[in-house]
Amino acid sequence: MEDQNQVGREHWKGRSSSWTATAAQGLSTDDTLNQMLIKLAGIVAGERVLDLGSGTGDPAISIGLALGGNGAITACDLTPEMLAKARDRSVNVGLDVISFTAADMTSLAFADNSFDCVTCRFGLMFPEDKVAAAREVLRVLKPGGRVGYIVWGPYDENPPFFVIRRAIAEAMGQEEGAVPHRHSLGQPGQLSEILNAAGFSKATEHEMRYKRPVDDLDDYINRALIRGYSETVDKLDDEGRDALMDTLRAAFEPYREDGLVMMPNYARLGLGWKPA
């Protein structure tokens, strides 16, 4: 089963090859959450934005494009291997207002009062001291600037994660295991508590729910297997892999609407402002 302790440089370095192999080549294959973040965080042309935990480029590339050539986006991630893919994607979409920095979000290599906005999509769940990470964001924000943290909602409300995981566990005769660390901030109030403790003002939380249409179910499943279950799948022979794919296709049938699989996604957004 997938690693439960999804923290630390070595963990993400080890996963970088699978993530870069399955990443988009240019624009995001699912830009919904990126666009929600841009809108709710009020990102506009001319601003200087820092994106933490950028990985292979989301949401940094979407933010850079939204700036329309006027402003700057810095993509920051723990692993240079991930950022190399983000750089390739930015070239493919012709984005020239983006820069790249490898750094831990708890110790940022930026001066005080540097950015109008800081974003982080699915990264705050992983630092051991989340309040300290948020305080570091507070330091690099300009007075009156704001941060937007996206985290996954509860595990049981995110079928893209539990459908495959449960189906594989049952097919392989394994225990499903503990809830993955990615869902550790999914309960209402957790983000506001962190933001308030770090010194932000006007902390608010927003639900981010939508259904993602899956045009190619096999490709969707295979990307998930490569990212999270390669060790399990690599042990199977061709017959075993075919049988597993049949099991996984069947597991997605309850989410089919008018012939198309529609996957519910549930994330939460925490917004906070640095006092002016």
Question: Does residue 163 belong to any structural domain of this protein?
Answer: no
Name the residue type at position 185.
L
Residue 169 falls inside a structural domain: no
Nearest 5 degrees, angle CA 58-CA 64-CA 70?
Answer: 170
Count of domains for the chain: 1
- Asked if the structure places residue 78 within a domain, the reply is yes
What is the per-residue pLDDT for 2?
Answer: 40
Q: What residue numbers bound the domain in which 145 lies? A: 9-155+179-214+266-273
Residue 221 belongs to a domain = no
- Give the pLDDT of residue 19: 73
Joined tokens for residue 115: 């950015």
133 in a structural domain: yes
Q: Are 51 and 86 spatial neighbours (Cβ–Cβ below 8 Å)?
A: no
State both tokens at 150.
């996206």
Give Dmax over CA atoms of the chain in angstroms. 62
Distance, C-alpha 165 to centroid of its chain:
18
Please check whether residue 246 lies inside any domain of the structure: no
Q: Give, rounded to a whole angstrom, the gap between the first and last alpha carbons of the chain.
A: 47
For residue 92, the SS3 value is helix
- For CA atoms 176, 179, 182, 187, the dihedral sign is positive
User: Before 59, cis peptide (omega within 30)?
Assistant: yes
- Cα separation of 55 and 78, whole Å? 8
pLDDT in tens, the chain (276 residues): 343 334 566 565 566 678 788 889 999 999 999 999 999 999 999 999 999 999 999 999 999 999 999 999 999 999 999 999 999 999 999 999 999 999 999 999 999 999 999 999 999 999 999 999 999 999 999 999 999 999 999 999 999 999 999 999 998 888 999 999 999 999 999 999 999 999 999 999 999 999 999 999 999 999 999 988 988 888 899 999 999 999 999 999 999 999 999 999 999 999 999 999
Pairing of strands 256-257, 260-273: antiparallel
Question: What's CA 94's distance to the chain center, in Å?
Answer: 23
pLDDT at 49: 98
Please tell me the pTM assigned to this model: 0.93
Position 20 scores a pLDDT of: 83
Please report, for the domain that includes residue 31, its CATH number: 3.40.50.150
CA dihedral (160, 166, 171, 173) in degrees, to 10, reads 150
